[in-house]
Amino acid sequence: MTIDLAARTTALETAVRAGEGRVDADLLADARTVVARARERAGLSADHTVVALAGATGSGKSSVFNALAGTELATVGVQRPTTSHPLAAVWGASGPAAGPAGPAALLDWLEVRRRHEMGTPLTSGDPGDARAGGGLRALLRGRRAGELTSGLVLLDLPDHDSVVVEHRVRAERLVERADLLVWVVDPQKYADAALHERYLRPLAGHGSVVVLVLNQVDRLTPADADACLADLRRLAAEDGLADARVLGVSARTGQGLDELRGLLADAAARRRASNDRLAADVRAVARRVAAACGEPVPERAARRARDGLVDALEAAAGVPTVVAAVRGSAVRDARAATGWPVTRWVGRFRPDPLRRIGLRTGPAPGSARARAAKELGTAETASRPELARTSLPAVGAALRAGAQTAVRDYAAEATAGVPDDWALAVRRRASEGAADLADALDQAVAGTELEAARRPVWWRVVGAFQWLVLAALVVGLLWLAALWGFTYLRLPEPPTPVLTLGGPGAPELPWPTLLALGGIVVGVLVALVSRVAAAVGGRRRAARARRRLRDAVGQVADRLVRLPVGEELSALASCRAAALVAAS
């Protein structure tokens, strides 16, 4: 699938927006310039092809221009530099009547003031037509009239190596804006490093709109001319211009000029050079933007980095302390609900671990006051989250430093392979979020449901059974006390029911003694079994609390660290994708 210039330009503009503040400012400025130039050129004449003749001082560029134009338009002399201002030869409608679609507006955009409107070429004529101002007439022999009668704007640029800075600036500006570039070189300086490094190498990928013309081949033997042309092709390939056409010409004798004229006339007839040039410009800068975006970050590495971040933040938030408190509080509450009623009051003197760290306040759990206080407190905390605070011991400097280090490590691992500019932007966003971590983690812990008020059904069942066993103990003791009273007062004892343990002759156990001893033994045994069950339940409650706390800490990590980092990486992905589309 091919992409038209408008879509390519839009994609580059999208990449520039995504890379704002993250990609090198000079690179983004170059991309904006290319986008603006493409849109400006698209609004000008599409029927004209701008061909720029560029070259160094003494290369014979102006002589080639005059030979192509068929008349002495450019001044050729021995004083260097000869060309100080660009000169245009225009084939086609011009003047105000042509409007924005004509060459006048195009030349105004090019800032070319010196311009000559050439006569319309004919399909027949003699070699003298070129000297009479026909220019490209010889080219049109054998073609229908009107096919190549217009559409060419030929520019003679100032020398790119002029000692006058202003001349070089004008040449460079027109090199950027021309549709087709014809570089005129001579046998002495075609391999000049300044030419290749400063002008040709930056045009890598523009081979379809670059023509390299070796002028003055009449001064060389055929073998030397072939050697120079082969060497020029080699240098062009090294510059990334393997597709560029290389011609040998002589402005003095006319050698090779017909081929050059044919090439320019064909470009004017096809009317694709401007699109090809702009597409090549967009592709070139888009490749640089894509390279500045680096390679995508593996998703697996990001997940590993998040797990490490959450682990460190759990430690910094005191989650292990809270989990231990949940377990201790659950065991304490279970013992209070299922222990032997005779001794369970002793447990009231043991401090509640959750209450001690501020995660349980108000009346005892399970009471009506506790339920009302919980509903009121939940509503108030929901409307004013800043009220949710814990009394956890201050996190040590080592743990806080560990959390900060975890944030930096997460940003570093999440940006592995990302270019420095993007990585710095990611780390800056991560550091901004880390500044609020302490309060956010404290609120997350305080707002997590720890099941502090939860009372399992088995607590109630065992508690009721313990009270029933205690009642049996009390009944047995009172019964024994009554029997002792009868004996002490020397009164006849009332009959006492007994429990026969087996058949006839087996031991018998009075019911008052059975109730008293059974109340003690059963109550203690149930309390011991309940302790084991409470320990198991405490571990399970602590495990559920740890999962909820990890989720809460993970949400804080996502909101303050992972989401900002993700936004930066998403912008990076958007920039990379758009740049790759523009560069495709």
Q: DSSP readout, 122-146?
A: -S---THHHHTT--SGGGGTTS-TT
Arithmetic mean of pLDDT, 386-403: 55
Residue 265: what pLDDT?
A: 86
Lowest mean pLDDT among 87-91, 145-149, 427-431: 145-149
Q: pLDDT by residue (tens digit) across 460-494? A: 888 888 889 888 888 888 988 888 888 888 888 88
Q: pLDDT by residue (tens digit) across 333-357? A: 888 888 888 877 777 777 877 777 7
Arithmetic mean of pLDDT, 213-217: 91
How many residues are present in the chain? 584
Residue 76: what pLDDT?
A: 66
Q: pLDDT by residue (tens digit) across 146-184? A: 333 468 899 988 887 776 778 888 888 888 888 899 999
CB-based contact 53:155 (threshold 8 Å): yes
- Return the sign of the alpha-carbon dihedral for residues 87, 93, 98, 102: negative
Q: Dihedral through CA 61, CA 62, CA 66, CA 69, nearest 10?
A: 70
Please provide the DSSP assignment of 366-377 as one string. TSHHHHHHHHHH
DSSP structure class, residue 443: H
Say whether pLDDT at 28 is over 80. Answer: yes
Arithmetic mean of pLDDT, 523-546: 87
pLDDT more than 70, % of the chain: 82
Q: State the average pLDDT for the chain.
A: 78
User: Measured between alpha carbons, how far is 103 from 152 in angstroms, rounded to an integer?
Assistant: 9
Say whether pLDDT at 292 is over 80. Answer: yes
Please provide the DSSP assignment of 315-380 as one string. HHTTHHHHHHHHHHHHHHHHHHHHS-TTTGGGGGGSPPHHHHTTS--SS-TTSHHHHHHHHHHHHH
CB-based contact 131:70 (threshold 8 Å): yes
Say whether pLDDT at 432 is over 80. Answer: no
Residues contacting residue 114 through CB under 8 Å, at least 6 positions apart: 85, 86, 87, 88
Arithmetic mean of pLDDT, 13-41: 88
Arithmetic mean of pLDDT, 402-429: 77
Arithmetic mean of pLDDT, 544-568: 84
**Structure tokens that stand for 527 in this block:** 């309390």
Q: Dihedral through CA 385, CA 387, CA 392, CA 395, nearest 10?
A: 60
CATH C-level class of 47-267:
alpha beta
Work out whether strand 508-510 and strand 498-500 pair parallel, antiparallel, or are unpaired. antiparallel
Element (H, E) at 570: helix 563-583
CB-based contact 293:575 (threshold 8 Å): yes
Residue 397: what pLDDT?
A: 61
Using CA atoms, how far residue 119 sits from 209, 228, 264, in Å, is 26, 36, 17
User: Which has the closest alpha carbon to 453: 372, 540, 393, 382?
Assistant: 372
Say whether pLDDT at 301 is over 50. Answer: yes
Higher pLDDT, 3 or 558: 558
Say whether pLDDT at 126 is over 70. Answer: no
Q: pLDDT by residue (tens digit) across 226-253? A: 999 999 999 999 989 898 999 999 988 8
Residue 72: what pLDDT?
A: 81
Instruction: Assign 331 a pLDDT band (cuts: 50, 70, 90).
Output: confident
| Identity of residue 130 | A
Residue 121: what pLDDT?
A: 45
Residue 388: what pLDDT?
A: 47
User: Measured between alpha carbons, how far is 250 from 424 in angstroms, rounded to an integer?
Assistant: 56
pLDDT more than 90, % of the chain: 8
User: Measured between alpha carbons, how far is 577 from 19 in angstroms, rounded to an integer?
Assistant: 11
| Residue range(s) in the chain whose domain bears CATH number 3.40.50.300 | 47-267
Find the angle CA(284)-CA(290)-CA(294) to the nearest 5 degrees: 145
CB-based contact 445:322 (threshold 8 Å): yes
Element (H, E) at 88: strand 87-91
Residue 148: what pLDDT?
A: 35
Instruction: Assign 135 a pLDDT band (cuts: 50, 70, 90).
Output: very low
Supply φ then ψ for residue 374, to 5 degrees.
Answer: -65, -45
Instruction: Assign 139 a pLDDT band (cuts: 50, 70, 90).
Output: very low
